[in-house]
A = this chain, B = another copy of it.
Amino acid sequence: MEFRLDPWGSEVIREYNKLFKFFGIKPFKEVLKDLSRFVEPHMLMRRGIVFGHRDFEEVIKALENHEKFAILTGLMPSGRMHLGHKMVIDQVIFYQNLGAEIFIAIADAEAYAVRKLGRSELIRLAIEEYVANYLALGLKTKNLHIYFQTNYSREYYRLIQLFSRKVSMAELRALYGEDLEPGKIISVLTQAADILHPQLKHFGGFKVVLVPVGADQDPHLRLSRDIADRFSNELGLRRPASTYHRFMTGLDGGKMSSSRPESYIALTDDPEEAGKKIMRSLTGGQATAEEQRKLGGHPEKCPVYEVNAYHLISDDRELENLYWECRTGKLLCGECKARTRERLIKFLTEHQRRLKSARELAYKVVEVPDF
């Protein structure tokens, strides 16, 4: 029997077909081998969770030529940071260790104008809930730039003003829908500035900027690529590269989402409580133990398997064992959950120990807006 590190392959193609077919996103596995010439690819890559890319060849070239490159990611300071958010930061840390300079935009302007959150609360959330967890996960402060969208430099804001000349309402509507209020318009142009600004001389002049995102973020990449083309002469901008990863399934079967606490494991969940969430989780098992022993389970449809494959089991062989124990009916859901619970409690306990000192550091690596 062939082991499938990527049991979601066919589902990904079905789910994200439009991205492949209409928007020119290419399978990530095509560049996996090239990347492995420089470093062992991250487990999210090896396992097909990072499934697609645009222009990742540019990153390979930068590695080949020992050229500097940058990673841009963003965070929306609303709700608590959960395992779904952790996936992005794990990749960012991987690239940082590979030599990339890291830019992290705190989307407080968008949180305020579009999601209508209060200023002081979202500033606190951004630092204590997100940035602190990033640092505790292993993000290093060297070559790291974390900024609030409302508290950055004029060169960044100038991009928003310049971009507005060459973007039409018609194309924004095509990308983001008909209902575009001023807050949304400024927000999407701000995101284009987030993605493209590391290329400016003022910010280091990086010519390769890679943006690892969930598949739902692709409209921002498409807009940024078009804008880069339109400003290639005037500002010397080039298209950003991007990778795409699957969403995490929530423990209740939907998307893992901050709005439903039972769907996610937060990095600051009490470990015992988090363990209980695992025990209550939906699985890919059969209706009865008897059927499960006979037919085997469906790890590819199991949120508990995902928690292991995305986060808790870094060794491919160990994950392979889990997969087959489940598929062949040897391992029942109760036992699998109990093991997962142990792994999770261990991870969270260690993480939260690191988090204490990270909180203090978090306030030092970001400049907090004063109103």
Which chain A residues have a beta carbon within 8 Å of chain B's beta carbons? 109, 112-114, 116, 119, 149-155, 157-158, 160-162, 164-165, 167-169, 172, 180-183, 185-187, 189-190, 200-201, 234-235, 369, 371
Contact = CB atoms under 8 A, between A and B. Distances in A.
Contact of A113 (B116, B164, B200): B164
B154 A183 contact: no
A351 to B, nearest CB: 33
Contacts of A181: 168-169
A182 B172 contact: yes
Contacts of A190: 161
A162 B113 contact: yes
A164 B182 contact: yes
A165 B189 contact: no
Contact of A182 (B112, B167, B371): B167
Contacts of A160: 186
Given A150-B154, A151-B154, A154-B152, A182 B161 contact: no
Contacts of A149: 161
Contact of A371 (B109, B116, B187, B235): B235
Given A165-B183, A181-B168, A189-B186, A153 B154 contact: yes
Contacts of A116: 165
A114 B167 CA distance: 11
Contacts of A164: 113, 182-183, 185-187
B235 A165 contact: no
A172 B169 CA distance: 14
A190 to B, nearest CB: 7
B235 A162 contact: no
Contacts of A152: 154
Nearest to A188: B182
14 contacts: A112-B161, A113-B165, A114-B165, A149-B161, A150-B158, A150-B162, A151-B154, A153-B154, A161-B190, A164-B187, A168-B181, A172-B182, A182-B185, A182-B189
Nearest to A114: B165
A185 B183 contact: no
Contacts of A189: 182, 186
Given A150-B154, A168-B181, 6 more contacts: A112-B165, A113-B165, A151-B158, A165-B183, A169-B180, A235-B371
